[in-house]
A and B are shown apart, each in its own frame.
Chain A
Amino acid sequence: MSIPELEEMARKCRVEICKMTHRAQAGHPGGSLSEIDILCALYGSRLRARPDDPNWEDRDRFILSKGHASPGMYAVLAEMGFITHEDLKSYRVKGGVCQGHVDMKWCPGVDFSAGSLGMGLSFGMGCAVAARIDGSDRNAYVMVGDGEIQEGSIWEAAMAAAHHELGNLKLFIDCNGIQNDDFCEAQMRMFDIPAKWNSFGWAVKVIDGHNMEEIVRSLEWMDSITDKPAVVVAKTVKGKGVSFMENNPAFHGAAPSDEQLQLALSELGVKA
């Protein structure tokens, strides 16, 4: 997909994120809106996967470790044809494929059952090791939140993946500066995040996580790294695209009201 096409896909996904959380009156719009440009770029321009055969063994894996940001992933899966737009209405509804947190047992195209932060990178490492043993050139891509990297298990995986020189393991950190209760700066300062990953033996690149061209270029860069794991540290804005959600900790885990939805949709270019 071209850059304008990816941007249009991201806009449509933003609309769905707002609608899904509004319909459920629950869920996590903030972190879904901050990750969505990267997810669209990955699925639309890079990820080796078959919507009509989601369990194809030699697919690239995508692991949304920050599994609360599921509306973003569901919206992308619907755009790509893994699930239908009708399925999006099942978000947080009894029996629906769109469970509160992404779940590989429930939703086609989901490779990891998330919900506990700090687990996806280790899981991704397992997928990367399996690909290596299989002699396959498939990759494992993982997305974590910036709050999430406070979990100790992330650093166990970071050290192990570098030790094993897993060039097929690729990580995105959605650095939106906000976690559950407050800004990361107030909850747990992380100081120099790129330097930390660098010192753990990873290839590191810092990008603007809302600039589609930069994101696509960073995906190409990631795939060019084959001798060690690579991480893209994406500077993002939590709630990006909806003015009253942007950089607002209140919209980590709160749904828009009826009026807020209308405002959000008009800002996202939906005609009333």
Chain B
Amino acid sequence: MAATRDGYGDALLALADNPKVVVLEADLGKSTKSLHFRKAHPERTVSCGIGEQNMLLVGAGLASSGYIPFASTFAIFTERAFEQMRNGVARPNLPVHLCGSHGGTHTGTDGSSAQSIEDLAIYRTLPNVVVMHPCDDVSTKALTMQLPELGKPSYMRTARNKTPVLYDGKEDQIEIGKGVTICSGEDVAIIACGVLVHEAMDAAESLRSEGINATVIDMHTIKPLDTDLIDSVAQNCGAIVTAEDHSIIGGLGGAVAEYLVSSNPVPMEKIGVPDRFGESAGSEEMLEMMGLKSHHICEAAKRAIARKA
């Protein structure tokens, strides 16, 4: 078990060999894990205090001067700087890499104010911005390591709490914009991101014991969406379930649905946070309360299969 935010922290440190990489903080470096970079390279770390809006545009200025800034705070507090991200970063297509940690209701007892459930949706609407939400520390590190070559802005959500490690020794499977097929079955495809990839795998396991074979996809990049992969699972499975610790509106489910309706529509069910805010509770309690556990995914899979023509 490891937290994706630790993968982010490790990656920043590993990227330090590139003298153009700089780190921006807004008083949450201990939490987002940029602190390791700060300790090793204070001269290339800019503390912006508790000032997220300033941080984003300082990043834009640095990017316009040839630097590759990595800025991080909690996912929810990146949203305060949304307009800065939109007009100051995305519009001029400046490669500022924003990381929002503690995303989703899985964040737990801090409560609704800290549980961003809309970040993937809002950043996905911005032209030029790549949006990612990896499920383990290894893939988080691998994706972060690819960002200096990206040449455009990005948003990555990481999670507060530990999740199982999936890609140990399989780093080369991870590529921005390419979903990973974790297991293959022909009855239904479960497309998940972040914390819910592990729930999707558990769901596939219990579906198998009922004679239902599921494909599980880790869609760590929500934008650009791997539409080739969606085409192929829509064709092979004929039913899709999306699963994310994010609002049912506009996230991974929204992205997949938008693509499917205009290409190759098949029955689809969405697992996500219903149209409501979270509250204080433990991580697992939150997943249960919000309907995001593996048993919820199983039920959704059966509903999707039942709707096949």
Contacts and interface: CB of A to CB of B under 8 A. Distances in A.
Contact of A181 (B25, B53, B111, B282): B25
B50 A100 contact: no
Given A100-B111, A116-B76, A180-B31, A94 B289 contact: yes
A112 to B, nearest CB: 11
Interface string A159-190: 00000000000000000000111000011100
Contact of A148 (B50, B53, B113, B281): B50
Contacts of B112: 99, 103, 115
B184 interface: no
A151 B111 contact: no
A96 B111 CA distance: 11
Q: Lowest 6 A-B CB distances belong to which pairs? A: A115-B113, A188-B49, A94-B281, A100-B111, A150-B49, A92-B109
Contact of B111 (A115, A152, A180, A186): A115
Contacts of A38: none
Contacts of A181: 25, 27-30, 35
Nearest to B109: A92
B122 to A, nearest CB: 16
Interface of A: 24, 26, 67, 92-96, 99-101, 103, 106, 113-118, 147-148, 150-152, 179-181, 186-188
B49 A147 contact: yes
B30 A99 contact: no
> Helix, strand, loop or mixed for chain A's interface?
loop
A115 B114 contact: yes
A101 B111 contact: yes
Contact of B280 (A94, A113, A118, A151): A94
- Highest count of chain B CB atoms <10 Å: which of A24, A100, A188: A100
Contacts of B77: 116
Contacts of A151: 50-51
A123 B282 CA distance: 30
Contacts of A103: 111-113
A94 B288 CA distance: 12
A181 to B, nearest CB: 5
Contacts of B31: 180
A264 to B, nearest CB: 21
Given A94-B281, A99-B279, A181-B29, A188 B50 contact: yes
Interface in B4-59: 25, 27-31, 35, 47-51, 53-54
Contact of A113 (B28, B35, B113): B113
A26 B111 CA distance: 12
Contacts of A113: 113
A150 B289 CA distance: 36
Contacts of A187: 27, 47, 49-50
Contacts of B35: 181
B71 to A, nearest CB: 15
B27 A152 contact: no
Interface string B164-199: 000000000000000000000000000000000000
A212 to B, nearest CB: 29
Nearest to B50: A150
Contact of B113 (A94, A96, A116): A116
A93 B286 CA distance: 11
B307 interface: no
A94 B287 CA distance: 12
B258 interface: no
A186 B29 CA distance: 13
Contacts of A150: 27, 49-51
B80 interface: yes
Contacts of B29: 181
Nearest to B53: A152
Nearest to B51: A150
A188 B28 CA distance: 13
Contacts of B111: 92, 99-101, 103, 115
Contacts of A100: 109-111, 113-114, 280
B297 to A, nearest CB: 22
Which one of A94, A117, A152 has the greatest number of beta carbons of chain B within 10 Å? A94
28 contacts: A26-B110, A67-B113, A92-B111, A92-B280, A94-B279, A94-B282, A94-B285, A95-B279, A95-B281, A99-B280, A100-B109, A100-B110, A101-B113, A116-B80, A116-B113, A147-B50, A148-B50, A150-B49, A151-B50, A151-B51, A152-B51, A152-B54, A179-B27, A179-B49, A180-B50, A181-B28, A186-B47, A187-B27
A114 B109 contact: no
Contacts of B113: 67, 100-101, 103, 113-116
Contacts of A186: 47
A188 B280 contact: no
Interface string B221-264: 00000000000000000000000000000000000000000000
B280 A180 contact: no
B292 to A, nearest CB: 15
B217 to A, nearest CB: 31
A188 B26 CA distance: 10
Contacts of A92: 109, 111, 280
A198 B292 CA distance: 51
